[in-house]
Amino acid sequence: MDARIAAFLEYLGRDRAFSDNTISAYRNDLNQLAKYLATPPEQSDLGPVRDIGELSDDHLRAYSEHLGQQGYASSTVARKMAALKSFTNYLHRQGETAEVLGRDIIVPRVKKAKPRSISTGDVEKLIEAPATSGPVRPEQQRDHAMLELLYASGLRVSELVSLDVEHIDIEDQTIALDGRRGERRTVPLAERCIPALTAWMAEARGIIANRDETALFVNHRGNRLTRQGFWLILKSHARRVGIDSITPHTLRHSFAAHSIEQGMDLNELQQRLGHVSNVTTQVYQRMHNELNGVAEDDEEDAGLNAVMREMVAVERESAGVDR
């Protein structure tokens, strides 16, 4: 089982260009499945699975019930079962199983939350928070530049921490972003970011960055900042200015919502956000319309509700079909 899981994870990275974080989540979920199959609970009527050929729908159905009994949230069970179904699809395509196992297992329905944004006033408080946290230090200049850039450019946090110094062109006011599949897109560098970025790049970064480090944003050890590191920084500043329940993606949602409010064209917003389809971008238009009492017809309503579900759903495959 371990070898097949390893091959599947390699496939996700090589052929599907899944992010490291997504692959890590799949690894954890499938390792949990493998452990359950190797040592099922004493009350189970099913014996351990020693080979893929012994795996059946009964095992997977029992595993789904086991997850529910362990007290996991329905969203967690849904994610774990999505990973399982993706794995069994892969096994079938590789000729390991005669049919796609687990196809008919019903997973919990999860009510999806709409993207959450914060007010422009709260955004400004958050962005200015590093400057009010005591004597100016390189880390404060870094934090100010990161928050300005994340909000004003609508970046994903993974894109932010992946930036190298060479990706920022102050003169042309552009940012080069590398996609998961190797493609590169260029987005505008907002005018408001330039003072904070210039101060960080020209003055403070050299104080803490290691000599050979190419990353734009570094931690206190001089190495590339991680997503987790940024998350801790964000929470610290948000807490100090009284903003609760914020995530790195909140600033991206806020950028999109505020851009719509200011009249940005949907196609331009789609390009800025890096959405493959503008249907996803339309979610923000719908949120704006709801806030302003603009009615939408039932067909568009249903379509956008489907997009809402898709936006926050677990990344997964249908049976052999890439999305």
Whichever domain contains 30, its CATH number is 1.10.150
DSSP 202: I
Q: Is 256 or 217 the better-scoring residue by pLDDT?
A: 217
- pLDDT at residue 306 in the model: 40
Give the position of tokens 């297992």.
105
Would you say residue 277 lies in a domain?
Answer: yes
> Tokens in use for 213?
């480090």
Would you say residue 111 lies in a domain?
Answer: no
In this structure, the answer to whether residues 130 and 204 fall within a common structural domain is: yes
In this structure, the answer to whether residues 72 and 192 fall within a common structural domain is: no
Give the position of tokens 């052999």.
320
The reported pTM is: 0.58
Element containing residue 62 per DSSP (H, E): helix 57-69
In this structure, the answer to whether residues 138 and 209 fall within a common structural domain is: yes
In this structure, the answer to whether residues 26 and 157 fall within a common structural domain is: no
Whole-angstrom distance, CA of residue 118 vs CA of residue 116: 7
Would you say residue 186 lies in a domain?
Answer: yes
Q: How many domains does the chain have?
A: 2
Would you say residue 78 lies in a domain?
Answer: yes
In this structure, the answer to whether residues 191 and 284 fall within a common structural domain is: yes
Of 43, 77, 93, the position where a domain reaches its end is 93
Would you say residue 98 lies in a domain?
Answer: no
In this structure, the answer to whether residues 88 and 125 fall within a common structural domain is: no
Q: Read off the pLDDT of residues 59-85 as tens digits, 9 standing for 90 and up.
A: 888 888 888 888 888 888 888 988 999
- pLDDT at residue 316 in the model: 37
In this structure, the answer to whether residues 302 and 267 fall within a common structural domain is: yes
DSSP 245: S
Full residue range of the structural domain in which residue 188 is found: 120-312
Integer distance in angstroms from the first to the last C-alpha of the chain? 27
In this structure, the answer to whether residues 18 and 128 fall within a common structural domain is: no
Cβ-based neighbours of 218, under 8 Å, separated by 6 or more: 142, 205, 208, 209, 210, 224, 225
Please, which pLDDT band fits residue 289 given cuts at 50, 70 and 90? low
In this structure, the answer to whether residues 159 and 301 fall within a common structural domain is: yes
Beta-carbon count within 10 A of 213 CB:
16
Q: What's the CATH number where 230 sits?
A: 1.10.443.10
> Tokens in use for 162?
């992946």
In this structure, the answer to whether residues 256 and 157 fall within a common structural domain is: yes
In this structure, the answer to whether residues 154 and 268 fall within a common structural domain is: yes
288 burial (CB, 10 Å; 0-12 / 13-18 / 19+) is middle
Number of H-type helices and E-type strands within the chain: 14, 3
Amino acid identity at 32: Q
- pLDDT at residue 239 in the model: 92
Q: Read off the pLDDT of residues 239-285 as tens digits, 9 standing for 90 and up.
A: 999 998 888 888 888 888 887 777 777 777 677 777 666 666 666 66
Beta-carbon count within 10 A of 3 CB:
7
